Homo-oligomer: A and B are copies of this chain.
Amino acid sequence: MKTYPRVTLEQWRVFQAIIDKGGYAQAAQYLHRSQSAISYAMSRLQQQLGIALLKVEGRKALLTEQGQILLERSRLLTDEAVEIENFAYHLSQGREAEIKLVVDAAFPKDLLMSALSKFANQSQGTRVQLREVVLSGASDALLSDETDIVIGVQAPSGFLSDPLYEVELIAVAHTNHALHKLKHKITSADLSKHMHVVIQDSGEKEKMDIGWLSSQDRWTVSSIDSALSAIEHGLGYGWLPRYRVSEQLKQGSLKALLLEQGASYKAFLFISFAHPQNIGPATRELATIIKDVVKKNI
């Protein structure tokens, strides 16, 4: 078993050129080399592999069955080699190798994924590292310098932020929940008698408090998914993004609470750069794509 390559990329390229250009002579012309250099490279390649890639039938060089397969694989190889070098070029131009993106869980996944897949198409190899947070986790990420772009509820002042997306959070509880049985509009006094499902802040520094209504009992969860699941199981009530509960509202498993006040409120998600003074080209592109996708989907 070999452990290092003996065949050079040049040899594979010669092989490919012979096929693509229709012969040794044409390949020679294409590669700016003599016909005998092509012949030499090709025979050496086959000798090193111990296998015939071409059989010269009459005066035409034809692929063997094995040559066909190896040709295909070799193209992947040389393509990847070219891509690495192009990627290196982009790096030399200041393009980032990796972008760290932090997104608040309230931001719709489909928009995010659509933006990321668009970016992947033109990313030139730049990878995106995605982290999901809730509430002040986003601001923390900005401050702690572990990120490049943040999509979150608000940016600490001093960061370059743009309003991006409005999320409507509405108060819901399971259809059978006692709060729905009340005859009058629900007051905060009513709420305080029931379990409030709160999404825990994933931030660590300045805890923002979204559970501003005091409540006897509080069920704290760490993601929108778990909050939704808790509420769907009748554990309590809570505020969730409208787009995440629309299905349940339609099906009737959840119902919006008729609150005297605060039945819904709007949160604005902002997109911010963590290092405004030094934004790389790929980071800028990704941000632009995200904004575009959001704009098109409003």
Is B82 touching A77 in the complex (CB atoms < 8 A)?
no
Q: Is A69 an interface residue (CB 8 A)?
A: yes
Q: Is A247 an interface residue (CB 8 A)?
A: no
Interface membership of chain A positions 68-108, coded 1 if the CB is closer than 8 angstroms to chain B and 0 otherwise: 11100110111011101111110110000110000000000
Is B8 touching A10 in the complex (CB atoms < 8 A)?
yes
Is B78 touching A80 in the complex (CB atoms < 8 A)?
no
A125 to B87, CA, bound (A): 28
- What size tier do the contact residues of chain A reach? 35 or more
Interface membership of chain A positions 48-75, coded 1 if the CB is closer than 8 angstroms to chain B and 0 otherwise: 1111000000000000011011100110
CB-CB under 8 A from A5, the residues of chain B are 9, 13, 78, 81-82, 85
A85 CB → nearest B CB, Å: 5
CB-CB under 8 A from A91, the residues of chain B are 51, 66, 69-70
A34 CB → nearest B CB, Å: 18
Is B82 touching A4 in the complex (CB atoms < 8 A)?
yes
Complex copy number for this chain: 2
Q: Is A182 an interface residue (CB 8 A)?
A: no
CB-CB under 8 A from A86, the residues of chain B are 1-2
Q: Is A7 an interface residue (CB 8 A)?
A: yes
Q: Which of B8, B10, B80, B88 contacts A66 (CB 8 A)?
A: B88
Q: Is A144 an interface residue (CB 8 A)?
A: no
Q: Interface residues, chain A, CB within 8 Å of chain B?
A: 1-10, 13, 48-51, 65-66, 68-70, 73-74, 76-78, 80-82, 84-89, 91-92, 97-98, 125, 127
Q: List 23 A-B contacts (CB under 8 A).
A: A4-B82, A5-B85, A6-B85, A7-B85, A8-B10, A9-B9, A48-B85, A49-B89, A49-B92, A50-B89, A50-B92, A51-B92, A65-B97, A66-B88, A66-B91, A66-B97, A68-B97, A69-B91, A69-B98, A70-B87, A70-B88, A73-B84, A77-B84
7 nearest CB pairs, A to B: A5-B81, A49-B88, A69-B97, A51-B92, A50-B92, A66-B91, A5-B9
